[in-house]
Amino acid sequence: MNPVNYLYLAALLFTIGASGVLIRRNAIVLFMCVELMLNASNLALVTFSRLHGNLDGQIIAFFTMVVAAAEVVVGLAIIVSIFRTRHSASVDDSNLMKL
């Protein structure tokens, strides 16, 4: 088996994540979809690392994880405070940006 298959898997997962962001309305699920997209890219990076035979890809994936962790912390805090004020976790309810 060629490790390229891992890339196909990553592409598939990324697409599913992106579609999830567009389809789901619950902000928490939306966040999970974003996490899935990040994981997919991590898988691709790890696979690239293997294909090229150096560890830089893994380093980048590592940093991605760190940044994802930070993002999740802040994002979930935002969701919690939005939920507190609006009593809803649906992103469609926060549509004050329109006229």
Q: Which of residues 62-91 bind other proteins (CB under 8 A)?
A: 62-63, 65-74, 76-81, 83-84, 89-91
| Closest of 27, 25, 29, 33 to residue 78, by C-alpha | 27
Min separation Cβ 75 and other proteins, Å: 9
Q: Residue 99 carries which DSSP code?
A: -
**Does residue 95 sit in helix, strand or coil?**
coil
Min separation Cβ 19 and other proteins, Å: 3
- Restricting to residues 10-49, which ones interact with other proteins according to CB under 8 A? 11-26, 28-29, 31-33, 35-36, 39, 42-43, 46-47, 49
Min separation Cβ 46 and other proteins, Å: 5
| Closest of 95, 92, 90, 85 to residue 26, by C-alpha | 90
- Count of residues near other proteins by CB under 8 A: 78
Tokens linked to 36? 């899935």
